[in-house]
Amino acid sequence: MRGAGCRVVSALVLLSGLVTLPGCTPRGGGSESPQPDATLGAQQPGQEPPAPGAQPGSDGGASGGGSDESHQPAPGSISTGQELADHEDLMTFARGVIPLSVGGAGAKLGAQMEEAIESIDGSPTRFSLVNKGERGTSTEFVYLLPASTTFEGFAVPSVLETPSQYTTFTRVVEVYGSSASAESGFELLASATLTAHPKKDQQTHLKLVKTKPVKWIKLKLSGGVLVEQERSTFQFSELIARGNQDVPELSAKFSGRWGKRNAGFELKQQGAAVNGCYDGVAPLSGTVSGNILKARGVEPRTKVVSLFVLTVMPDGAIRGVRSSNGAPFKLVDFTTLSDGAAQCPSLAAPKVGCGSTLHGVNFDYNSATIRADSGVLLGQLYESLRADKAAKVVIEGHTSSEGSDDYNLDLSKRRAEAVVAELVKRGIPNSRISAQGRGEATPIASNADETGRSLNRRVEVKCN
């Protein structure tokens, strides 16, 4: 995704361990911005989280399990970085948060669907939200959540000013929630008036106004921290959120054709498994978790690998991101095709088994406990391995790169062992199957944002 400014360490969880600190003055002093009405959170340099390498649920974190009051950020204070709250970011596209619309004046000044995805991509990298915005220009993004969610906190990282007098960071952040629809019933959940962070690797915590279950989120971004010109470029980083979320239902919408000519997808879904092709010729395969398909494909002529994180929209369109040959993820957005000849050379029945890469085996946060929503995929894997009685099976666990190498290696091994135990419980002979942890050693995508990290958190099935 395109971005501006410097990249900083990602923080996917809110910070705790708070002490009072007065507000600070943005770039060069003289800012018109008021003192912050929110919380700045800072992780100390060189400090590792107590749950390093934790896969945020491997495509999703633990369902339920609230936080205690001791971890609630206090307005007007800064974290000492002594401890990270044991919660994951619920506002990422990789977790199934779907951008539905872009509104406000910013929609005419550069803010489009790509910016809506960048605002929830799990990366604190700043990007240009709008260009030539007036002092009070507002942009509104509406998102559909994968399941009913009760949020307990929101934060914005990397509120940093650039040396340019023509560019500034967004000043006012408001988060609204609705349980009714994408068009109505929105109530203010949290807000903050931002000032520039005194250093990198910090988060401003929004002031929580209301706690209620919601299914739609409206993110409103207005003005700039330090506006020095009549028209300015306003930047943003991302919205981070924590709370409790119901377990999303497994989508069955990944069968069909989308796009035009040689651009688009032709997919067939069976349970949690998907096969198909893209660009008319290149085969892909993947697995579904909740409302998200994560897939990999190889162009047969050039051997270029493409990675996909996709969802089917309420109107039937397919939307998501794609990375080819290791390039940054870019937006893909195709409407449904209902006529014309199929373009895939052959479309085999979807299945998982020997040689599969699985992204739908979900674990509790920082744990090797398999979540119940993994049952469909594990059932399909069991049936496939049971039918292939001659195969010796190795279940490999893989993590993303947060935390230490040693912790990631141990976590990946424990999760692989948990999958083996589940398959043995279902009936695979213990003598046929073993577990191996690979940690973060063999990523298949960049770890720079949550989209790539979520693809790196996976289970691979090796047979011989």
**Selected residue with higher pLDDT from 238 and 16:** 238
Across residues 379-408, what is the average pLDDT? 93
H or E stretch at 287: strand 282-289
Residue 429 has pLDDT above 50, yes or no: yes
Structure confidence at residue 72 (pLDDT): 57
Per the DSSP assignment, residues forming a β-bridge with 192 are: 173
User: What is the per-residue pLDDT across 181-213, written as a single tens digit (0 to 9) for each?
Assistant: 999 999 999 999 999 999 988 999 999 999 999
What is the percent of the chain where pLDDT is above 90? 73
Residues 240, 113 share a domain? yes
Q: Which residue has the tokens 């879904």?
A: 269
Across residues 127-144, what is the average pLDDT? 97
251 belongs to a structural domain: no
Residues 145, 72 share a domain? yes
- Is 377 in a helix, a strand, or coil? helix
Residue 289 has pLDDT above 70, yes or no: yes
Residues 34, 137 share a domain? yes
344 belongs to a structural domain: no
Residue 92 has pLDDT above 90, yes or no: yes
- Tally of structural domains, the chain: 3
Mean pLDDT estimate for the chain: 83
Residues 400, 331 share a domain? no
| DSSP structural state of residue 374 | G
Which residue type occupies 383? Answer: E
Residues 379, 326 share a domain? no
Residues 237, 191 share a domain? yes
417: left (phi over 0), alpha (psi -120 to 50) or beta: alpha
8 belongs to a structural domain: no
pLDDT confidence bin for 88, thresholds 50/70/90: confident
Q: How far is residue 249's CA from residue 260's CA, in Å, rounded to a whole number?
A: 29
Which residue type occupies 421? Answer: A
The sign one gets for the Cα dihedral 252, 255, 261, 264 is positive
Per the DSSP assignment, residues forming a β-bridge with 177 are: 187, 217
Structure confidence at residue 357 (pLDDT): 96
Q: Which residue has the tokens 């915005």?
A: 133
pLDDT confidence bin for 108, thresholds 50/70/90: very high
H or E stretch at 113: helix 113-118
Which residue type occupies 376? Answer: V
Residues 205, 56 share a domain? yes
Structure confidence at residue 196 (pLDDT): 95
Single pTM value for the model: 0.82
Residue 6 has pLDDT above 60, yes or no: no
pLDDT confidence bin for 32, thresholds 50/70/90: very low
Per the DSSP assignment, residues forming a β-bridge with 185 are: none
Structure confidence at residue 7 (pLDDT): 33
Structure confidence at residue 141 (pLDDT): 98
Q: How far is residue 395's CA from residue 254's CA, in Å, rounded to a whole number?
A: 26
Structure confidence at residue 342 (pLDDT): 63
**Selected residue with higher pLDDT from 282 and 340:** 282
Using an 8 Å Cβ cutoff, are 287 and 272 in contact?
yes
Domain-ending residue, one of 282, 304, 337: 337
User: What is the per-residue pLDDT across 331-368, written as a single tens digit (0 to 9) for each?
Assistant: 999 998 766 666 676 777 898 999 999 999 999 888 89
Per the DSSP assignment, residues forming a β-bridge with 102 are: 141
Across residues 300-327, what is the average pLDDT? 95
408 belongs to a structural domain: yes
Per the DSSP assignment, residues forming a β-bridge with 156 are: 204
Q: What is the DSSP string of 411-453?
A: HHHHHHHHHHHHHHHHT--GGGEEEEEEETSS-SS-SSSHHHH
Residue 131 has pLDDT above 80, yes or no: yes
Residue 284 has pLDDT above 80, yes or no: yes
Residue 394 has pLDDT above 60, yes or no: yes
268 belongs to a structural domain: yes
CA 284 to chain centre: 21
Structure confidence at residue 339 (pLDDT): 64
Structure confidence at residue 74 (pLDDT): 54
Residue 329 has pLDDT above 60, yes or no: yes
Domain-ending residue, one of 245, 268, 290: 245
Residues 260, 241 share a domain? no
pLDDT confidence bin for 281, thresholds 50/70/90: confident
Across residues 208-229, what is the average pLDDT? 97
262: left (phi over 0), alpha (psi -120 to 50) or beta: alpha
Task: For the chain, give the number of residues.
Answer: 464
Structure confidence at residue 333 (pLDDT): 94
Q: How far is residue 73's CA from residue 2's CA, in Å, rounded to a whole number?
A: 31
Residues 270, 239 share a domain? no
Residue 12 has pLDDT above 80, yes or no: no
Residues 317, 184 share a domain? no
Per-residue CA distances from 386 to 188, 202, 294, 327, 354 (Å): 52, 50, 25, 38, 11
403 belongs to a structural domain: yes
Residues 287, 427 share a domain? no
Domain-ending residue, one of 213, 245, 277: 245
5 belongs to a structural domain: no
* CATH at 39: 2.60.120.260
pLDDT confidence bin for 375, thresholds 50/70/90: very high
Residues 125, 212 share a domain? yes
Range of the domain at 24: 15-245
CA 274 to chain centre: 20
346 belongs to a structural domain: no
* CATH at 382: 3.30.1330.60
Using an 8 Å Cβ cutoff, are 72 and 35 in contact?
no
The three-state DSSP-derived secondary structure of 205-240 is: ECEECCCCEEEEEEEEEEEECCCCCCCEEEEECCCE
Per-residue CA distances from 24 to 77, 203, 236 (Å): 12, 14, 19
Structure confidence at residue 236 (pLDDT): 98
Q: What is the DSSP string of 64-78?
A: S----GGGSPPTTEE
Across residues 296-318, what is the average pLDDT? 95
Using an 8 Å Cβ cutoff, are 318 and 311 in contact?
yes
Across residues 26-46, what is the average pLDDT? 37
Residue 225 has pLDDT above 80, yes or no: yes
Using an 8 Å Cβ cutoff, are 93 and 99 in contact?
yes
